[in-house]
Amino acid sequence: MGYDPVSMDLLVERTGLTVNQLSSMLLKLELDGEVVTTPGGRYSRTLERG
């Protein structure tokens, strides 16, 4: 996953994981501050901290 927002459908397609598997991973990454959910339900990495 890059910094450009991507949909859950695209992540499923790219990874071959199920929606349930991805949702779990994305939630953990979001809680860790690594991923954000953008308007429209898309996901992207957070900006690198300098």
Per-residue pLDDT tens over the stretch 35-49: 999 989 999 999 866
* Structural domains in the chain (count): 1
Sign of CA dihedral 15, 21, 27, 32: negative
- Tell me the mean pLDDT in the region 30-38: 95
- For residue 28, give its domain range: 8-45
pLDDT value of position 47: 80
Residue 16 belongs to some domain of the structure: yes
Q: Which of 13, 12, 7 has its CA nearest to residue 42? A: 7
pLDDT value of position 49: 60
pLDDT at position 50 over 70 = no
Residue 1 belongs to some domain of the structure: no
